[in-house]
Structure 1
Amino acid sequence: MTEDREIVLASASPRRRELLGQIGIVPEIIPSTLEEKITTDRPEEVVKELSLQKAADVAERCAKGTIVIGADTVVAAEGRILGKPKTHEDAEHMIALLAGKTHQVYTGVTMIVCGQEGRARKTFAEKTDVHVYPMTAEEIHEYAFSEEPMDKAGAYGIQGKFASYIKGIDGDYNNVVGLPVGRVYQEMKSLLTLTARRNNG
């Protein structure tokens, strides 16, 4: 399906690149340099907005027929968005909010087929519920002051040491890592089918 297409990932995330590699997609990496603008505080809408901004920014520089994938992931605790921690103290505060509770991870994805009339595109958001075991103050402190949480939304990586505290998830595991690749593949298939119909029509 994608063999004859140039695919660009508008993100420098090594986790997203690895996840695409897992399903046989080796993208070119062109991170967006756009200043992000948010017009809502609803997590699902925020990730859709940001993924669209990133993909649209990079798509302007790509050749016709290229598929650009933009993505953004946020962690939300009780409806409040937790970004990437700026300090270890920040990380400690975030982990304390997650310990012993259920929170949500939202990833927004936008795919744009460059050079199409009206630019063929698809934007969606995937949500996964993550249940975290209770943690002691010492466990929270020790994890928060390691290097693992510092570049991650919500201050943790499910595929790292924080796995010790994951009670379970409802939804797509890969979504929590940073990209719901199963849905990405399915949506890409339908987008390319739609584009082919338009071109042949």
Structure 2
Amino acid sequence: MRPVLILASQSPARASLLTRAHLPYDTVVSHVDEDAALAEHGPLSPSDTALLLARAKAEAVASLEVAEGRVVLGCDSVFELDGESYGKPYTADVAVERITAMSGRKGTLHTGHWLVDRGNGETLGEGAVSSADVYFAQMSREEIDDYVATGEPLQVAGSFTLDGRGSVFIERVDGDPNAVIGLSISTLRRLLAARGISPSHWWRPTPQVTTS
């Protein structure tokens, strides 16, 4: 039997969080043009940016035939520093610049969640943002260069990870640490509960078919 939940993301970190929580899911990548989605709405706060992109991803996958009768979750993370939004740096130079600015300071990681329940015929769904303050240690230029050289920060929002090498530089997190990784399991539970779905039901073992 296929899982009820579809994760509209190719993020290994988000997939790992669902796996660790023993929540069965399938992955369907949305292929949303993020720049185009943002251009349609004008300037947004970092929190609203995360929610808008999560919604765009969830609705794109929910429109597919594979989502019929299932629940689709879209997520997106945006890092906020000095009121500015920061997504993935993609290049080493940008990552070095951003991490240098973050060194010894506090930033906020916003993760937007959007859930569409195709089992109830939804097409728009509902969402929520989980935010957490991240406190960074003072980093030397050598440490920053060594970290960027690993390639890890290039493809993640804010140029750091809590579940990888970047954890070495994080002194404290105020808020849901899972949201910093990319998916708040508690937020997902609340969104599911609003639709009468309990993820604990997914832990029930599949009945074994016996033959005589």
TM, length-normalised to structure 2:
0.84
Provide the alpha-carbon RMSD of the alignment: 1.8
Contact 1:11 1:29 in 2 (8 A): yes
Q: Unaligned regions of 5+ residues in structure 2, if any?
A: 198-212
Q: Which residue of 2 aligns with 1:74?
A: 78
Deviations 1:159-178 (A, max 9, x none): 11221211101000011111
Q: Which residue of 2 aligns with 1:114?
A: 118
Q: 1:107–1:63: structure 2 CA closer, same or farther, 3 Å change rule?
A: closer
Deviating above 3 A after TM superposition, structure 1's stretches of 4 or more consecutive aligned residues are 115-120
Contact 1:71 1:179 in 2 (8 A): yes
1:173 is aligned to 2:171 = no
**3-state DSSP of counterpart to 1:109:** strand
1:130-149 equivalent positions in 2, closer than 5 A: 130-149=134-153
The 1-side partners of 2:2 and 2:188 are apart by 17
In the TM superposition, residue 127 of structure 1 has moved relative to its aligned partner by 0.5
**3-state DSSP of counterpart to 1:192:** coil
Contact 2:110 2:179 in 1 (8 A): yes
Contact 2:6 2:67 in 1 (8 A): no
- Counterpart of 2:21, as a letter, is I
1:52 to 49, 55, 63: 55
**Percent of matched pairs sharing the same residue:** 28
Contact 1:5 1:67 in 2 (8 A): no
In the TM superposition, residue 14 of structure 1 has moved relative to its aligned partner by 1.1
TM, length-normalised to structure 1:
0.88
**3-state DSSP of counterpart to 2:195:** helix
**3-state DSSP of counterpart to 2:75:** strand
Indicate the larger mover: 118-127 or 25-34.
118-127
The 1-side partners of 2:25 and 2:152 are apart by 25
The 2-side partners of 1:31 and 1:127 are apart by 24
1:93 to 97, 111, 118: 97
In the TM superposition, residue 120 of structure 1 has moved relative to its aligned partner by 6.6
Q: Which residue of 2 aligns with 1:199?
A: none
1:120-131 equivalent positions in 2, closer than 5 A: 121-131=125-135
Q: Unaligned regions of 5+ residues in structure 1, if any?
A: 194-201
Indicate the larger mover: 32-41 or 14-23.
32-41
